[in-house]
């Protein structure tokens, strides 16, 4: 699974957060929450039933197929037969259903 993290940007954001007062921190928290909701909606629109996906749980990569796409969560049936209810931002598509 690939993660693109710009650590320099993270350090800059940490410095900014450390310099905020409580009201600014509340505003920042609301901005982060709103942006996460936008990213979730975008990801949900990309996902389709039977897409092959993977996610990490307890340091293990788990693979399976999407069986249902809900408004905020995705149901994945793993190769082992277990069903998971996963936030879409935790999923990486490894094969699109065509």
Res. 42: pLDDT tops 60: yes
Q: Read off the pLDDT band of 2 (50, 70, 90).
A: low
Residue 20: what pLDDT?
Answer: 93
CATH code (residue 44): 2.30.30.140
Q: Supply the range of the domain harboring residue 12.
A: 1-98
Res. 86: pLDDT tops 80: yes
Element (H, E) at 14: helix 7-18
Residue 56: what pLDDT?
Answer: 94
The domain total for the chain is 1
Nearest-10 Cα torsion for 23, 28, 34, 40: -140
Residue closest to 94 by CA, chosen among 47, 54, 46, 48 = 54
pTM of the model: 0.78
Residue 10: what pLDDT?
Answer: 92
Element (H, E) at 84: strand 83-86
Give tens-digit pLDDT for 49-73.
999 999 999 999 999 999 999 999 9
Q: Do 56 and 90 meet the contact criterion of CB atoms below 8 Å apart?
A: yes
């Amino acid at each position: 699974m690939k993660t693109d993290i710009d650590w320099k940007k993270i350090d800059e954001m940490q410095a900014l957060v450390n310099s905020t007062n409580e009201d600014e921190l509340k505003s920042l928290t609301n901005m982060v929450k709103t942006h996460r909701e936008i990213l979730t909606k975008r990801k949900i629109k990309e996902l389709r039933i039977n897409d092959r996906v993977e996610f990490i749980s307890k340091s293990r990569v788990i693979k399976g197929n999407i069986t249902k796409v809900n408004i905020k969560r995705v149901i994945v049936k793993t190769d082992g037969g277990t069903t998971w209810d996963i936030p879409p931002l935790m999923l990486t598509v490894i094969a699109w259903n065509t």
